[in-house]
Amino acid sequence: MDLSPIPDPTFAELIALRPHLSLDALAGLMLDDVPLAAIADALGTPVWVYAAGAMRARYRALAGALKNLARVHYAVKANDHLAVLALFAAEGAGADVVSLGELRRARRAGIDARDVVFSGVGKTPDELRAALAEGVGQINVESAEELEMIAALARAMGKRAPIALRVN
């Protein structure tokens, strides 16, 4: 077995692997045809820059591969920036949230409540009440106690809770 170190890729090889990156002789490194130096000059560094084109392309590839057999729900905890959430909402993604704050951000970004899955351990009564009031598409139940709490809240609100049981 050859254990010699693998050489680092060249700058040109790195760019070739990422279709949304390019190198312009005058503007330098570009992301989706936007000069990164201009962004750094305007905003300072460090700065996070996301390529909307790359995000759309990857979402479309995943959604296309699923062929309507399953639905993509973006994990809001990965990045809750409203522009990112709105981009995925426009593409047709649902949202996976783990808190009331994430639920509110997903809704503000244009994701329909029916397209929200509420996951996570330790959901509070207020979070569950809000999820039921908003009409989320699914609440992932983490324990017997949580199931009882959801049932009681739904009964008191005159609602039917859309649940999925998580089994470990």
Tell me: the pLDDT tens digits for 84-143? 999 999 999 999 999 999 999 999 999 999 999 999 999 999 999 999 999 999 999 999
CATH class of 52-165: alpha beta
Q: Strand runs (DSSP E) across 110-168, as ranges?
A: 116-118, 138-141, 163-165
Compute the distance between CA of residue 2 and CA of residue 5 in angstroms, rounded to an integer. 9
Structure confidence by residue, pLDDT tens digits, 64-90: 999 989 999 999 999 999 999 999 999
Domain ranges of the chain: 1-49, 52-165
Residues in the chain: 168
The rounded mean pLDDT for the chain is 95
pTM for the whole thing? 0.85
